[in-house]
Amino acid sequence: MQITIFGAGYVGLVTAACLSSLGHIVRCVDVSTERISAIQQAKAPFHEPGLNELIRRGLERKTLILATDSAGALTGSALSIIAVGTPQSGDTVDLRFLTSAASSIGRELRKHGSYHVVVVKSTVQPQTTDTFVRQVLERESGMTAGQFGLCMNPEFLREGSAVDDFMNPDRIIVGEWNRKSGDVLMQLYANFGCPKLRTTLRNAELIKYTSNSLLATLISFSNEIAGLCEAMPDSDIETVMDGVHLDRRFATSVSGEAVRPGILHYLRAGCGFGGSCLPKDVNALREFASRVQARTPLLDAVMNVNERRPDQVVGLLQQTAGGVQGKRIALLGLAFKPGTDDLRDSPAISIARRLHQAGAAICAHDPLISVAQVRAGSIDIALRSSVEDVLRGADAAVIATAWPQFRELNWGELVKLMAHPIIIDARNLLNETYFSSDVTYRSVGRGYAVVKEAL
- Binding residues for ligand UGA (CB under 6 A): 155-159, 212, 215, 219, 265-266, 268, 270, 273-275, 277-278, 336-337
Sign, CA dihedral 32-33-34-39, equals positive
Q: State the minimum distance, in angstroms, from the CB of residue 270 to ligand UGA.
A: 4
In terms of CB distance, is 171 or 416 closer to ligand UGA? 171
First to last CA, the chain: 64
In terms of CB distance, is 121 or 384 closer to ligand UGA? 121
Q: State the minimum distance, in angstroms, from the CB of residue 48 to ligand UGA.
A: 10
Q: State the minimum distance, in angstroms, from the CB of residue 227 to ligand UGA.
A: 14
Buried b or exposed e, range 311-340, using 16+ CB within 10 angstroms: ebbbbbbbbbbeebeebbbbbbbbbbbbbb
Give me the torsion for CA of 279, 281, 284, 286, rounded to 10°: -80
User: Hey, how many other C-beta atoms are within 10 angstroms of the C-beta on 229?
Assistant: 21
State the DSSP H helix or E strand holding residue 400, giving kind and residue range, or none if neither: none
Q: State the minimum distance, in angstroms, from the CB of residue 354 to ligand UGA.
A: 17
**Is 277 considered catalytic here?**
yes
Q: State the minimum distance, in angstroms, from the CB of residue 438 to ligand UGA.
A: 30
Q: Find out whether 330 and 398 touch, Cβ atoms under 8 Å.
A: yes
Active-site hit among 18, 151, 229, 277:
277
Q: State the minimum distance, in angstroms, from the CB of residue 284 to ligand UGA.
A: 11
In terms of CB distance, is 4 or 428 closer to ligand UGA? 428
Q: State the minimum distance, in angstroms, from the CB of residue 153 to ligand UGA.
A: 12
What is the C-alpha separation between 232 and 330, in angstroms, rounded?
Answer: 27
Q: Which residues lie closer than 8 Å to 211 by C-beta, 6 or more apart?
A: 156
What is the C-alpha separation between 51 and 67, in angstroms, rounded?
Answer: 18
In terms of CB distance, is 219 or 363 closer to ligand UGA? 219
In terms of CB distance, is 177 or 336 closer to ligand UGA? 336
Give me the torsion for CA of 25, 15, 96, 372, rounded to 10°: -120
In terms of CB distance, is 327 or 337 closer to ligand UGA? 337
Bridge-based pairing state of the strands 92-93 and 88-89:
antiparallel
Exposed (0-12), middle (13-18) or buried (19+): which is 224, by Cβ within 10 Å?
middle
In terms of CB distance, is 106 or 270 closer to ligand UGA? 270
User: Hey, how many other C-beta atoms are within 10 angstroms of the C-beta on 110?
Assistant: 11
State the DSSP H helix or E strand holding residue 82, giving kind and residue range, or none if neither: strand 79-82
Catalytic residues: 277
